[in-house]
Amino acid sequence: MTIPPLSPRETARRRLLEALRREGPMARVEIGQHLGMSPASVSDLTASLLDEGILATEEAGDQAAGLIRGRPKTRLFFAGTLGSVIGVWTGFNRIELRLVDSAGRNRASLHVERRLRNLGAEELMDVLAETIAAFAQENGASDVKAIGLACQGYVDTRDGIVAWSPVLGARDLPLASGLGQRLGKPVLMENDASAMAFAITQRNADLRSGRTACLMIGDGVGLGFLIQGELYRGARFGGSEFGHVRLRRSGPQCRCGGRGCIEAYLADYALHRDAQLIDHRPAPTLLLPGEEAMGAIVEQARAGDAALLNLFHAAGEVLGDAVGILIQTLEPDHIVICGPGTRAMDLLRPSFEAALESQTIPELRALATIHVVESSMDLLTEGVVMQSLRELDLDLARLKAA
Amino acid sequence: MTIPPLSPRETARRRLLEALRREGPMARVEIGQHLGMSPASVSDLTASLLDEGILATEEAGDQAAGLIRGRPKTRLFFAGTLGSVIGVWTGFNRIELRLVDSAGRNRASLHVERRLRNLGAEELMDVLAETIAAFAQENGASDVKAIGLACQGYVDTRDGIVAWSPVLGARDLPLASGLGQRLGKPVLMENDASAMAFAITQRNADLRSGRTACLMIGDGVGLGFLIQGELYRGARFGGSEFGHVRLRRSGPQCRCGGRGCIEAYLADYALHRDAQLIDHRPAPTLLLPGEEAMGAIVEQARAGDAALLNLFHAAGEVLGDAVGILIQTLEPDHIVICGPGTRAMDLLRPSFEAALESQTIPELRALATIHVVESSMDLLTEGVVMQSLRELDLDLARLKAA
DNA sequence: TCCACTTTATTCGGCTCATGAATAAAACAA
DNA sequence: TTGTTTTATTCATGAGCCGAATAAAGTGGA
């Protein structure tokens, strides 16, 4: 996105819109205080944003009046009438969709069970395009302006190319342009852990200052790393594939083809697979188990199943090692452990803490605060939608015409 | 340093001075092309810098004239008369010093053998202050304006505090203020790997774009990470302690107190110690061996000593794992392996490459270019001096008066 | 020697952007 | 009504940067 550096004006507009989407309706004075801008500047900026129909003003009397002296605030908010955006997450065998209006308000969401792995590139794009189009139609969304797509793997966010993915089994797949052609809309792409990290940091102002490393445990394990609230971008504008760091030289099989990756211990598919192996069940697959299946495993372990407890013990140890590497490599101010995998945090914690302590220098460990944020895949589609809306903000008025 | 955000003007001044120090004397047009500034802006900026005595102009006729048409360029350069700066590196049992003028020209350097470990805080600061003062006096440097100090460990670069160091055995040591009081000059601090990374990226423009991870192998192992040519700062404004990431659960002893750290395989002290153990020599110490001792070990291995070759094989494997972690976590555009330890790169390479390949995803590995830069500790003191001068640029005129 | 040509450097007017101060607006309170 | 309080807008100002015009300082050729 945004290849040419933004002008000061555009930067200011973005900051303003970002704050407004995050914090909800605000009066101009409040915006000024929030962003450290002078009232004059806010007035100027909002005037053009109102002009373009991106923002709208509250009707007089909407607020609890009568008690405060002085001229009442007129709060500004996103118009929400500039069309809608669809956020999509693609997993190994599941697609999650979410429809929001341009103000970021949720209008609909949907889970679809569909195995995506092993589809050819064209077939994959056809399936996704159909699923998205059907979802839009079912919900009467004729004003979709853009699609935001999050998936596992290394995503070139500038050109919308999946450079590599353990899930789609694709290499250098130009998913954004392929889907864009089929749907006739712009498609923005993001790594899934980055999308969730974005959503989480948007909700917590503390996490937007300094450096925040969000380790998402779910279908796979991913890392979203933010510096001063901005997503870190590696070479080719992708994020991190921290989940595929090999921690144990001959550990369990990972979906990336390697062995002993962090993900191969912690991800839902890994825990589910290993739990089935314990029970001598037949077909250990790499399919993503549902929340019920995972819940059952956790419950069984909590009930005292020794073999399962061992699994979680090993996983917790890997989590501790992983967080240790993050601490000593990046010295983040905040570490967030998030995603559906946090459902078993109680089981992971003892070995997690022991491993973390055994391998980090106390003085350095003390510099990072560790947060556990229980979050589901819903937060992920929220993240990708928020991120897409943010990228689109500057184009909203232009897209409105189209 | 520089807690309040710099004004646009100050940023431009810094960029200009930085370029000039890096590239050497340049004419105004050249500066403009180099930095993408209009001639008008360059003229304006240089006028005030000349005024303040920070820059000087070449005398007419200094260049090989006569061949070029048009008005001759008048090149600008650092005055070099605003005082000098001393750069210091502290190792386990060695101190390296370097004296430069404000133009960055080397005036003197010195190695001192002195064991710093196990000194009390006050004693350590006394020793350092005396060493620095004596060095300044011997070289008739009565115009020292600041000291730049690089050391291993986690350095709070804003407040000049050594939060933790395997070498100084100190915790939260306010070294900058302690030395500053003793010497009556400002002291700037930096992690040593960061200082070398800075020096290396200053010499190679390619490495200043995108993300560059410089792994320094020497006395210890450190990482300097730069984003768009700027040193990455973690919590508390320090760098990275990547050398103390534990790669092997029960590996050799490390100076940090842990086991199996990257450093415990690759650092000079580690190779030297393990080589001595092989020869059944008596006292395996953690002292930093000299270049001669290390050279002898490398020669012996090159001559075919199987036990030593095994050492280097294991070290190379660790290096491969380490670089693999960097690639999959940060996706840097460039990875630089540097420091005195590169002397044995030929011995490390086979197992390094095998380990790297076995644990990284080919598509991601392909995104990073790996550079090997043979560099000695001299480059390190150069780095810390350059970095200090850069930080001081804005204050040079002010310090001149003092 | 003088004039055209070339390249470098400076000056000047104008543009964008942000801001403080003054002013207007919209309420409440007396 | 009239003052008070708070919010929003307008306006003049200044910082910073730039393009264009101009000045400066040389070379080359008639």
* pLDDT 10s digits, A295-312: 999 999 999 999 999 999
Model confidence at A66, pLDDT cuts 50, 70, 90, reads low
Report the alpha-carbon distance of residue B61 to residue B75 in Å, rounded.
11
Does residue A329 belong to the interface with chain B, where contact is any CB pair within 8 Å? yes
The whole-number Å distance from B70's CA to C5's C1' is 8
Q: Quick one: tokens of B276?
A: 């001595």
Q: Are strands B211-217 and B221-227 parallel, antiparallel or unpaired?
A: antiparallel
Least confident range from A69-73, B64-68, B289-293: namely B64-68
Give the model confidence (pLDDT) of B90-148 as tens digits: 988 899 999 999 888 999 999 999 988 888 999 999 999 999 999 999 999 999 999 99
Q: Is the pLDDT of residue B54 over 60?
A: yes
Cross-chain Cβ contact A328/B241 below 8 Å = yes
What mean pLDDT, rounded, does chain A reach? 92
Does residue B252 belong to the interface with chain A, where contact is any CB pair within 8 Å? no
The whole-number Å distance from A43's CA to C23's C1' is 15
Write a three-state SS string for chain B. Answer: CCCCCCCHHHHHHHHHHHHHHHHCCEEHHHHHHHHCCCHHHHHHHHHHHHHCCCEEECCCCCCCCCCCCCCCCCEEEECCCCCEEEEEEECCCEEEEEEEECCCCEEEEEEEECCCCCCCHHHHHHHHHHHHHHHHHHCCCCCEEEEEEEECCEEECCCCEEEECCCCCCEEECHHHHHHHHHCCCEEEEEHHHHHHHHHHHHCHHHHCCEEEEEEECCCEEEEEEECCEECCCHHHCCECHHHCECCCCCCECCCCCECECHHHHCHHHHHHHHHHHCCCCCCCCCCCCHHHHHHHHHHHHCCCHHHHHHHHHHHHHHHHHHHHHHHHHCCCEEEEEEHHHHHHHHHHHHHHHHHHHHCCHHHHCCCEEEEEECCHHHHHHHHHHHHHHHHHHHHHHHHHC
Residue predicted with more confidence, A56 or A286: A56
Cross-chain Cβ contact B325/A325 below 8 Å = yes
Nearest residue of B to residue A363 by CA position?
A: B164
Q: Where are the alpha helices (DSSP H) in A139-185?
A: 175-183
Of the candidates A81, A82, A20, A8, the residue with the CA atom closest to the CA atom of residue A46: A20
CB B388 within 8 A of CB B84: no
* 3-class secondary-structure state, position A361: coil
Report the alpha-carbon distance of residue A57 to residue A25 in Å, rounded.
9
Of the candidates B394, B392, B379, B391, the residue with the CA atom closest to the CA atom of residue B106: B379
Does residue A244 belong to the interface with chain B, where contact is any CB pair within 8 Å? yes
- List CB contacts (< 8 A) between A171 and chain B: 363
By CB atoms closer than 10 A (0-12, 13-18, 19+), residue A244 is buried
Model confidence at A166, pLDDT cuts 50, 70, 90, reads confident
pLDDT value of residue A1: 45
The whole-number Å distance from A77's CA to D4's C1' is 29
- Which 8-state DSSP code applies to residue A342? G
Report the alpha-carbon distance of residue A322 to residue A324 in Å, rounded.
5
B96 phi, psi to nearest 5 deg = -115, 135
Model confidence at B63, pLDDT cuts 50, 70, 90, reads low
CA quadruple B62, B68, B71, B73: dihedral sign: negative
- Which 8-state DSSP code applies to residue A38? -
- List CB contacts (< 8 A) between A333 and chain B: 234-235
Q: Quick one: tokens of A235?
A: 């070479």
Beta bridge partner(s), residue A146: A85
By CB atoms closer than 10 A (0-12, 13-18, 19+), residue A111 is middle
pLDDT value of residue B117: 80
Please state whether strand C lies within 7 Å of residue A8 at its CB atom. Answer: yes
CATH of domain A8-61+73-78: 1.10.10.10
Model confidence at B66, pLDDT cuts 50, 70, 90, reads low
* Average pLDDT score over residue span A225-240: 96
Q: Is the pLDDT of residue B401 over 70?
A: no
CB B340 within 8 A of CB B377: yes
Does residue A354 belong to the interface with chain B, where contact is any CB pair within 8 Å? no
Q: Is the pLDDT of residue A332 over 70?
A: yes
pLDDT value of residue A2: 44
The whole-number Å distance from B104's CA to D16's C1' is 30
- Which bases of chain C come closer than 7 Å to a protein CB? 5-13, 16-22, 24-29
Spelled out in words, what is the top-level CATH class assigned to the domain B205-375? alpha beta
pLDDT value of residue A3: 58
Q: Quick one: tokens of B74?
A: 């008048």
- The domain segmentation of chain A, as residue ranges, is 8-61+73-78, 84-195+380-401, 205-373
Q: Is the pLDDT of residue A63 over 70?
A: no
Q: Is the pLDDT of residue A382 over 70?
A: yes
A130: part of which helix (H) or strand (E)?
A: helix A121-138
Q: Is the pLDDT of residue B395 over 80?
A: no
Nearest protein residue to nucleotide D5 (CA to C1' distance) is A70
The whole-number Å distance from B323's CA to D17's C1' is 43
* Average pLDDT score over residue span A352-356: 98
Q: Is the pLDDT of residue B3 over 80?
A: no
pLDDT value of residue B60: 59
Report the alpha-carbon distance of residue A392 to residue A188 in Å, rounded.
9
Model confidence at B1, pLDDT cuts 50, 70, 90, reads very low
Beta bridge partner(s), residue A369: A334
CB B131 within 8 A of CB B145: no
Residues 177-206 of B with CB under 8 A from A: none
Model confidence at B171, pLDDT cuts 50, 70, 90, reads confident
Task: Chain B: give the shortest CA distance to residue A208, in Å.
Answer: 13
pLDDT value of residue B58: 83
CATH of domain A84-195+380-401: 3.30.420.40
List C-alpha distances in Å: B34 to A25, A219, B50: 45, 48, 19
B2 phi, psi to nearest 5 deg = 40, 65
Half-sphere exposure of A301 (CA within 13 A, CB side): 24
A148 phi, psi to nearest 5 deg = -110, 125
Does residue A159 belong to the interface with chain B, where contact is any CB pair within 8 Å? no
The whole-number Å distance from B69's CA to D30's C1' is 18
Residue A61 falls in which region: left (phi positive, over 0), alpha (psi -120 to 50) or beta: left
Residue B207: other Cβ atoms inside 10 A: 22
Residue predicted with more confidence, A170 or B314: B314
Residue in B240, B247, B359 to test binding to A, most A beta-carbons within 10 Å? B359
Q: Tell me which of 3.30.70.930, 1.10.10.10, 3.40.50.970, 3.40.50.300 is the CATH number of domain B8-78.
A: 1.10.10.10
Q: Is the pLDDT of residue B384 over 90?
A: yes
Least confident range from A10-19, A133-142, B109-118, B313-322: namely B109-118
pLDDT value of residue B2: 43
Spelled out in words, what is the top-level CATH class assigned to the domain A205-373? alpha beta
Q: Quick one: tokens of A253?
A: 């099989």
Find the CB nearest A333 among B235, B321, B333: B235
Residue A394: other Cβ atoms inside 10 A: 16
Give the model confidence (pLDDT) of A111-165 as tens digits: 999 988 788 999 999 999 999 999 999 999 999 999 999 999 999 999 999 999 9
In sequence order, which residues have a C-beta less than 8 Å from that of residue B85 and are 6 or more positions away?
Answer: B99, B100, B101, B102, B144, B145, B146, B147, B148, B385, B388, B389, B392
pLDDT value of residue A368: 97
Q: Is the pLDDT of residue B80 over 90?
A: no
pLDDT value of residue B341: 97
Report the alpha-carbon distance of residue B100 to residue B110 in Å, rounded.
12
Residue A45: other Cβ atoms inside 10 A: 21
Report the alpha-carbon distance of residue A242 to residue A387 in Å, rounded.
21
Q: Is the pLDDT of residue B260 over 90?
A: yes
pLDDT value of residue B92: 84
Q: Produce one character per residue of A112-136: b if its CB has 16 or more CB atoms within 10 Å, e if not.
A: beeebbebebeebbebbbebbeebb
Please state whether strand D lies within 7 Å of residue A69 at its CB atom. Answer: yes
* Average pLDDT score over residue span B319-333: 98
Report the alpha-carbon distance of residue A133 to residue B334 in Å, rounded.
41
pLDDT value of residue A392: 85
* Average pLDDT score over residue span A368-374: 98
What mean pLDDT, rounded, does chain B reach? 92
* Average pLDDT score over residue span B358-387: 95
- List CB contacts (< 8 A) between A210 and chain B: 235
Model confidence at B402, pLDDT cuts 50, 70, 90, reads low
Give the model confidence (pLDDT) of B189-200 as tens digits: 999 999 999 999
Report the alpha-carbon distance of residue B131 to residue B112 in Å, rounded.
8
Residue in A233, A245, A247, A369 to test binding to B, most B beta-carbons within 10 Å? A245
Q: Contacts from B107-116 at CB under 8 Å and sequence distance 24+? A: B107/B139, B107/B141, B108/B135, B108/B138, B108/B139, B108/B141, B109/B378, B109/B381, B110/B135, B110/B138, B115/B287, B116/B90, B116/B91, B116/B92, B116/B167, B116/B168
Please state whether strand D lies within 7 Å of residue B39 at its CB atom. Answer: yes
Please state whether strand C lies within 7 Å of residue A9 at its CB atom. Answer: yes
Report the alpha-carbon distance of residue A359 to residue A321 in Å, rounded.
7
Half-sphere exposure of B306 (CA within 13 A, CB side): 0
What percent of chain A stands above pLDDT 70?
94
Does residue B328 belong to the interface with chain A, where contact is any CB pair within 8 Å? yes
Report the alpha-carbon distance of residue B77 to residue B27 in Å, rounded.
9
Report the alpha-carbon distance of residue A24 to residue A77 in Å, rounded.
7
In sequence order, which residues have a C-beta less than 8 Å from that of residue A135 and are 6 or more positions away?
Answer: A86, A97, A99, A108, A110
Give the model confidence (pLDDT) of A173-213 as tens digits: 999 999 999 999 999 999 999 999 999 999 999 999 999 99
Task: Chain A: give the shortest CA distance to residue B139, in Å.
Answer: 39
Cross-chain Cβ contact A331/B223 below 8 Å = no
* Average pLDDT score over residue span A29-54: 96
Are A8-61+73-78 and A84-195+380-401 equal in CATH topology? no
* Average pLDDT score over residue span A285-302: 88
* Average pLDDT score over residue span B312-327: 98
CA quadruple B171, B176, B177, B179: dihedral sign: positive
End-to-end, the C-alpha distance of chain B in Å comes to 19
Cross-chain Cβ contact B244/A324 below 8 Å = no
Least confident range from A375-384, B286-295, B308-317, B361-370: namely B286-295
